[in-house]
A and B are shown apart, each in its own frame.
Chain A
Amino acid sequence: MLRILNSYGALLLRAMGQTLLLALSGLFFACILGMIFGILSVLKNKACNIIAQIFVDVIRGVPMIVLAYFIYFGLPYGLNTLAGMNVTLSALQAGTICLALNCGAYMAEIIRAGIQSVDIGQMEAARSLGLPYWRAMQRVVLPQAIRTMIPSIINQFIITLKDTSILSVIGFPELVNTAKNVVANTFMSFQTWIIVGIMYLIIITILSRLAKMLERRLNRGRF
């Protein structure tokens, strides 16, 4: 174990950084996508609801590893041959898209459920005062919805962080991809995986604590 840390410690730390980078950039866009599709699914507009439903169903119905291959290889191929463009996606770009889509679909469901958990009377009261729909959403409904969403969102963040490991298949040098290399070079499987497991545990514990602190702050003195 010490030998691995000596020879590959720096490499594994860098891989941990790459894991975090990928997770954070994926989550950032996932939040945006989740917000858009979550709100589309609660609008009083059939077309919007259907678009959101299709997005969620398609993404949830495809395993992320399939999505990863499709985006990394299929998407540039499609754009280049069909649209005559000249696109290559880096593993980071493809990985970010993949995580954003995957996590975004689950976020959309969390956001939809969160908004729908807010009593309809809150929206009606705001509208009855003359507030436009979006204002009412922004000032009254979303702040309440977000509080009920937070535990699920934290949970989804952690799942997404762990899902970055799936992107080792497209060669992104995150922890699992790098660990497989270390195993191949040293033939020391258990030791490497123990180290990697502990690294994930550390990141996720820190993130969970931060999230809990945030949750407490948001809940202070309300309700």
Chain B
Amino acid sequence: MKKMMAMLLTGVMISSMALPVLAEDEAKHFTIATDTVFKPFEYTDTNGDFVGIDVDILAAIAEDQGFTYDLNSLGWDSAIAACQAKQADGMIAGASITDERKESGWIFSDGYFNATQSMTVKDDSDIAGFEDLEGKTVGVKTGTQGASYAESLKDEYGFEITYFEDSPTMYQAVVGGQVVSCFEDTPIMASSIQDGGLPLKVLEDTANDGAPYGFAVFNEEGQELIDLFNAGLADIVENGTYEEIVAKYLGEDTAAASAAAMKGDAE
């Protein structure tokens, strides 16, 4: 029943933004913000359903911990603002856990997915590594770990960065030659190339060590939700739900590796 309710409420618009009324004897209810398109973490599938790893993990954790929620697909920038404005209690949008974000007072959950970032070029490109980037312009998506990765390499290899607001535009810019390459999470890039039949190739040996994604709340008022999330995450990793979810979107191999890493972290 709770699960059904959660499903029903998924994707309800911002108009229902009343602060949750918390009564001791009722299930806790939260409003969670997310991005619009960040495949495969959240996106609208061909049936028009809003799906993705973030969406499924949140649903699994909510069921496990016995809370209900509205999931609002606001977009990246608006999701951040919504948490700040207390129009949302937390956000799950493939957000990397970084020190700079924590310094602003945000609190992150334990990492729920660990992605490496790597560089992707056009399939007929001459560029084989960072050394070939001098004087060129690369594309990144605003706010992603790929952007941070490119920023960390920029001065050393002497290239320029153009910031795009969504992945499709960034990919299009690489295909169209407006930028020579883009930086993106490796599994996401791989699945996008495959799904979209894009004339791009991931340069495997450009991958970094990766950084974990976390569920985030604006300040300590959200600590309760963080605690629920962490407890639920540990449970679904333990009971195999987590691996099932990741496998659904990124295949068995990635899922197994990811689940193993999560279990390792927990110890």
Contact = CB atoms under 8 A, between A and B. Distances in A.
> Are chains A and B touching in the complex at the 8 Å CB cutoff?
yes
A191 B148 CA distance: 21
B143 A185 contact: yes
A183 to B, nearest CB: 6
Interface stretch (A152-160, A170-178, A202-210, A211-219): A170-178
Contacts of B143: 180-181, 183-185
Interface stretch (A49-57, A71-79, A123-131): A71-79
A201 interface: no
A172 B160 CA distance: 12
B169 interface: yes
Contact of B100 (A91, A170, A172, A186): A186
B216 interface: yes
A195 B129 CA distance: 38
B147 interface: yes
Contacts of A90: 178
B223 interface: no
Contacts of B153: none
Interface stretch (B18-26, B75-83, B235-243): B75-83
Nearest to A88: B177
A187 B142 contact: no
A63 to B, nearest CB: 16
Contacts of A185: 98, 100-101, 143, 148
A71 B143 CA distance: 25
Contacts of A88: 176-178
B101 A186 contact: yes
The A interface, classified by DSSP as helix, strand, loop or mixed, is: helix
Nearest to B98: A185
Contacts of A193: 81
Q: Which range contains the number of A residues in contact with the other chain?
A: 20 to 34
B178 A89 contact: yes
A180 B76 CA distance: 9
A178 B165 CA distance: 11
Given A171-B139, A180-B163, A184-B143, A189 B101 contact: no
A72 B174 CA distance: 12
A3 B173 CA distance: 33
B1 to A, nearest CB: 35
Interface string B152-190: 000000000011110001101100111100000000000
Nearest to A87: B177
A180 to B, nearest CB: 5
Contacts of B176: 72-73, 76-77, 88
A188 B177 CA distance: 33
B84 A184 contact: no
A190 interface: yes
Contacts of B170: 171
B80 A187 contact: yes
Interface in A37-96: 69, 72-73, 76-77, 88-91
A32 interface: no
A10 B178 CA distance: 26
B207 to A, nearest CB: 21
Interface of B: 76-77, 80-81, 84-85, 98, 100-101, 103-104, 106, 139, 142-144, 147-148, 162-165, 169-170, 172-173, 176-179, 216
22 contacts: A3-B104, A73-B173, A76-B178, A169-B169, A170-B164, A170-B169, A171-B162, A171-B163, A172-B162, A178-B163, A180-B77, A180-B163, A181-B147, A183-B77, A184-B80, A184-B144, A185-B98, A185-B101, A185-B143, A186-B101, A187-B101, A188-B104
